[in-house]
Structure 1
Amino acid sequence: MGTKLIIDTDPGVDDAFAIALAALSEDVDLLAVTTVYGNVALADTTRNAQRLLALCKRDDVPVAAGASRPLVHPQAHRASRIHGPDGLSGRSDILPEPARELVSGGAVALLASVLEAADEPVTIAPIGPLTNIAALLAAHPGIGEKIARVVIMGGALAHGNTTAAAEFNIWSDPEAAQRVLAGGEVHCVLVPLDLTHRCAIDAAWLAQLAASGPIGAALDALTPDYRAHYRTVLGYDGMMVHDAVAVAEAIRPGILRTEAVPVQVECSYGPARGATLADLRSPGQRAGDAHPEAVLTDVAVDTELAELQTFLLERLTGTPR
């Protein structure tokens, strides 16, 4: 059928666009959605994910709730100032009620069962904190053999959005991020802020989405608080779709250009906590290190912007151009 995909998510407005992107793509076999705390509390992220799948008429997709907090230290704050009190600009109640009950047993159990049952490696797109994925790798040794790629929205090479050093998803659980990115158990693709900031969509793009039909209109209706925040960041009427950029790469490998480099996550409890440290030196320069065999992560560094924005709009509206 195409890409076999699991999304791990904390909806979140940009998560909503990412979930819809996968749910509406005919070349995606969306095997499951798992939820994690993050932009808002777990109860809200989980209900949002269920309602978004109901909007896309995808009651065939199982949903399980995962971690409600980070592995080690508490999450200092959530992102409700940006995403609204319910994660969807305070407008989650415009979405249909969930069409399917949650799967019992939790996210890690669902992830493991879906992966073990798959007849080919599965891509996982974690677009929230990496707590569920770290727990999966810890609880199920060898499960990485069933995972094709882990396409992560997270990190920042230059500066963060939550602190000067750290991007929100990685900052929320640096210990989990270090386990996933540097553990060597899975092939990781990291889609950082440096790229997603350049992939912002504008008011004209959103107007086309809203005019496309009920699903597009509902997605646009979830954006006001988020869009208001990004007007101040961007300086024009538009918004970031961070998570949808990562899911686009999960669906169509190569739509983002990547470079393979070692990535470490700063886990100390200081001002650099949650920073993603990508070693951009040449392999020759790295060869003199004490550990030159460091795990490599494919870090997304560029894309054809117009092509990506068209891809997103075509998939979300169902109207190829």
Structure 2
Amino acid sequence: MVKKMLFFSDFGIDDNIAVLYAFFNKEIDLVGVVADYGNVSKQDALRNAAYLQELTDRRDVPVFAGAELPLTGDPPEYVPDVHGVEGLGPIIPDIEVDYTLENFHGIQEIIERYPNEIIIVNVGRLSSLAAAFILYPETMKRVKDFYIMGGAFNEPGNVSPVAEANFFGDPYAANIVLTQAKPPVKIIPLNVTSGAIVTPALIDELDAYYQSIGSRVGKLVKPMFDYYYKFYKERNPELTGAPLHDVLTLWALLNEDKVVYRNIPVKVIVNRGEAFGQSVGDFRNTISKAGFPVHHVAVNFSYTDFIKDFFITMKNSKSHNGAH
């Protein structure tokens, strides 16, 4: 059955590849995209979303302007070294966008239109999703399911020794979502997504295919990926590829039986200090556990199934108006 997905994203490289994966996947009906600050500014995220709309010829998918700032009130820090100045690696999109677009309420309208059908996938900071719970608490009860890329459990973080970027960027928002969302939220944490390694050889094979069919949108994948891989390789020379965190989160939505979850009480540390933004999960094998909200935390997935599906799906580009 096709799943109706509302995608919250901060439009860095792995986000952009995840959006293309959703466009090309016949099992996903992308009903809307919320563009947030995070890897890049909200304005750049909106522009990247509009750019992908144009290249994929999918102007039927509405783009909503999300949050510009975290609930912490701190100015956001962008990461051009990872995702490029524009969030597309070396690519500078030549496109004009109407930045006056403030249509956040459209999220409410879409959920009301498809009650108990919408699955929200959030792969960036959680500020916009938290705002939706603050503004539309009754509407948000009609969301069928939540998948969140965020946190790191029993493993190091990527922005501090203990914290992952999405939760660290706005821990207040992460806690609002984890306390307000209809449980269980499915959390796909950094320690799992880091295993979703895609190799340059696989990307080269896809690129050869995109070049052969003249897919405008497909031709974006290799330059974006190469930029992203270079960053990861410099940070950790042992890596054989780059992790597509956000693609794995979408894949988990479609492959429930190929992801191992545990029911775990979870909270996020909001106190300033060394643990700021840390995701705490009570993984103890005891009957009595911490009184935090209990969610499904991913602990493992089938890598071979993931890679096979990613490759097959990304070759679907021809049938989705990707070739011009």
Shift in CA distance, 11/184, structure 1 to aligned 2, threshold 3 Å: closer
Deviates more, 1:124-133 or 1:215-224: 215-224
2:165 corresponds to 1:142: no
Alignment match of 1:266 (pick from 262, 265, 269): 269
- For residues 33 and 22 of structure 2, what CA distance do their matches in structure 1 show? 10
Per-residue CA deviation, residues 65-84 of structure 1 (Å, 9 max, x unaligned), is: 11101012314522112111
CA contact (8 A) 2:126 2:173 kept: yes
Contact in 1 for aligned 2:183/2:294 (Cα 8 Å) = no
* Structure 1 counterpart of 2:208: 211
Q: In 1, Cα distance between the equivalents of 2:47 and 2:233?
A: 27
In structure 2, relative to structure 1, the CA distance for the partners of 1:251 and 1:47 (3 Å cut) is farther
The one-letter code of the counterpart of 2:220 is: A
Q: Does 1:168 align with 2:170?
A: no
Aligned length: 310
* Structure 2 unaligned regions, length at least 5: 318-324
User: Any idea what the Cα deviations from partners look like across 1:70-114, whole Å, max 9, x if unmatched?
Assistant: 012314522112111111113142xx747x97894433x121110
Task: Name the CA distance, whole Å, in 2 between partners of 1:254 and 1:147.
Answer: 21
Contact map agreement 2:21 2:313 (CA 8 A) in 1: yes
State the shift of 1:185 in Å.
3.7
Counterpart mapping for 1:6-85 below 5 A: 6-75=6-75, 77-85=77-85
Look up the match of 1:198.
195
2:300 partner letter:
D
Contact 1:2 1:27 in 2 (8 A): yes
Secondary structure of 1:198 counterpart: coil
Rounded Cα–Cα distance in structure 2 between residues aligned with 1:239 and 1:187: 29
Q: Are residue 106 (structure 1) and residue 103 (structure 2) matched?
A: yes
Name the CA distance, whole Å, in 1 between partners of 2:128 and 2:266: 20
TM-aligned CA distance change 1:252 to 1:304, over 3 Å: closer
User: Alpha-carbon deviation of 1:285?
Assistant: 3.4
What's the CA shift for 1:243? 0.5
The equivalent of 1:315 in structure 2 is 313
Which stretch shifts more, 84-93 or 263-272?
A: 84-93
Partner of 2:288: 285
Instruction: Name the aligned partner's letter for residue 282 of structure 1.
Output: N
How far is the alpha carbon of 1:56 from its aligned partner? Answer: 2.4
Is the 2:132–2:140 Cα contact (8 Å) retained in structure 1?
A: no
Partner of residue 321, structure 2: none
1:187 to 184, 188, 191: 184
Q: Which runs of 5+ in 1 are unaligned?
A: none
2: CA distance, partners of 1:199 / 1:22 = 17
Determine helix, strand or coil for the equivalent of 2:194. helix
Q: The residue matched to 1:211 in structure 2 has which SS? A: helix
Q: Partner of 1:313: helix, strand, or coil? A: helix
CA contact (8 A) 2:120 2:143 kept: yes
Quote the Cα distance in structure 2 between the aligned partners of 1:210 and 1:156: 32
Contact 2:8-2:121 within 8 A present in 1 as well: yes
Q: Contact between 2:6 and 2:120, CA under 8 Å: does it hold in 1? A: yes
Structure 2 contact 141–181 (Cα < 8 Å) conserved: no
**Is 112-121 or 249-258 further displaced after alignment?**
249-258
Identical aligned residues as a percent:
26
